[in-house]
Amino acid sequence: MVKNTRSIESGVSEAIGFMLIFGMVIVGIGLVTLYGYPLLLQQQVSADEKIMEKNMIVLQNDIKSLAYKTVPFKETSLKIGGGSLTVYNSSSGTPSSTIEINNFAGTESYLPPYIPNTRFIPGELRYESMSSQTDISLQNGAVALRRHDVTGSVMLAEPRWFFDSTTNKMVINLINITSTNIMAKEGIGTVQMSLVGEPYFNETAIPNPNEIEIVYTYDQIQDYSVAWDNYIWNSWNIPQSYKVQRIPDPTNHKIKFRFKNDGSTDMMLVIKIFEVRIKSI
């Protein structure tokens, strides 16, 4: 090896080197804490929300089994993260929505007890996310999502309302969520639900040019009107010729939908009401 060249190290300080390296490490940790950690938390929140979206669809499937497949009891364990799941039964406080089904003149209601302006109150199972300000609600057999910071809502899973053009039948399935007391849950819980009594079932003949009117009334704050408006007017498989008019009434928080029988035979309007009791969360 060459011996006569040697580096001069008189300016090298171990302390300064240490400070430089240590400084870089601290700055690195600082940057990660400042920018990386909130990002990770955000990720966690959106993961919680996504999991709850899926959970609500699972609960909707439970309700479908109770209502349409004559299963007497259903139980699902789920994890409720980043918020709480609450039962708002159909007799509590201010409902987030009500539905009226009337003849067009408004003189007769097709819902029991057939007095004009009878309102059906569905009740709901609602997940309220604390961190992301999002509500996911299972109401009337549908799953709807709403953010607090923006107006508007979206339907994640549709209710089973349908129209059969072969037999000219319109089927409206209404689901009434009840509970014996007010319940809410955070963390891991089991949702138990059962069907109460016999479902209400009524079939009414609507002769050819007659109309029916569906009135959707929404709460000013818990407003899922955009989701339901889109469903009833666009996604529901009613033929175009049956749709007469959509009348929004923002001052009274109502949307009216007018449908008429445009078929050659009497249209049968089938209304079924299922009462689902949430036994525990």
Partner 1 sequence: MARLNDDAQWIILMGFLISFSFFFLAIIINQSTVVGQTTAESVIEFPKNDIRDLTGVIEYNTTVSNSTLVNSDITAIAMNRKNAIVRYTVILPQTPQDTHSYALIHYNNGVTEYDENWTSL
Binding site for partner 1 (CB under 8 A): 47, 50-51, 53-54, 57, 67-68, 70, 156, 160-162, 164, 166-167, 169, 171, 173, 199, 201, 203, 270, 272
Minimal distance, residue 50 CB to partner 1, in Å? 4
* 104 DSSP β-pair partners: none
CB closer to partner 1, 173 vs 217:
173
CB closer to partner 1, 169 vs 243:
169
- Is the Cα dihedral 84, 52, 223, 270 positive or negative? negative
Distance (Å, whole) CA 57 – CA 197: 24
CB closer to partner 1, 167 vs 234:
167
Distance (Å, whole) CA 77 – CA 281: 9
Minimal distance, residue 175 CB to partner 1, in Å? 12
Minimal distance, residue 279 CB to partner 1, in Å? 23
CB closer to partner 1, 108 vs 158:
158
Contact 135, 154 (CB under 8 A): no
HSE toward the beta carbon, residue 74, CA cutoff 13 A:
22
Contact 96, 140 (CB under 8 A): no
Residue 192, classified by CB atoms within 10 Å of its CB into exposed (0-12), middle (13-18) or buried (19+), is middle
CB closer to partner 1, 64 vs 277:
64
